[in-house]
Amino acid sequence: MTFYADLAQLQIPALNGLVGPIFMYGAIFAIFYFVLIRPGQKQRKEQDVLIRAVKKGDEVVTTGGVVGDVIFIKETVINGTNQPNEDRITIKSGESRLIIERGRIARVSRSGAGTAAASQG
């Protein structure tokens, strides 16, 4: 019995030496998670919701910097799921019509058709 008690006493200093670094690495990971990772995930989710809600007449800005009004949305759905397989959006920019992928939209302005009507009237 005394052998096991002596063995337990020998392992305690080894545990005390590991608790500090483990706590430190855990605290560093928690800081990185709450400062960098979590806000980025939240922002990506909000951007995805905004892009999925694009409708005809909205003004969009692509990642390439092209500004245009949405005139047509083509969605092809994968069999048996609600996720679109292919999203193509036709926008009108100036006198040109461009077909872009939904994922290439950087910003959406809901007042695309509203501002054009207000400036004419």
Cα separation of 64 and 61, whole Å? 8
Residue 46 neighbours by CB under 8 Å, 6+ apart: none
What is the distance, to the nearest Å, from the Cα of residue 20 to the centroid of all Cα atoms in its chain? 35
Q: Are residues 75 and 113 in the same domain?
A: yes
Comparing 111 with 22, which gets the higher pLDDT? 22
Q: Is the pLDDT of residue 11 over 70?
A: no
Same domain flag for 116 and 83: yes
Domain co-membership, 60 together with 45? no
Judge if 44 and 92 occupy the same domain: no
Q: Kindly state whether residues 60 and 112 are assigned to the same domain.
A: yes
For residue range 12-50, list pLDDT tens digits in order: 555 667 788 899 999 999 999 999 999 999 999 998 888
Six token digits for residue 93: 């920019």
Together in a domain, 18 and 63: no
Same domain, 66 and 91: yes
115 and 88 inside one domain = yes
Phi, psi of 61, deg, nearest 5: -120, 125
Number of compact structural domains in the chain: 2
| 48 and 4 part of one domain | yes
> Both 91 and 104 in a single domain?
yes
Residues 1 and 42 both lie in one domain: yes
- Euclidean distance between CA atoms 111 and 106, whole angstroms: 16
What pLDDT sits at residue 121? 38
Question: In terms of residue numbers, what domain contains 23?
Answer: 1-52
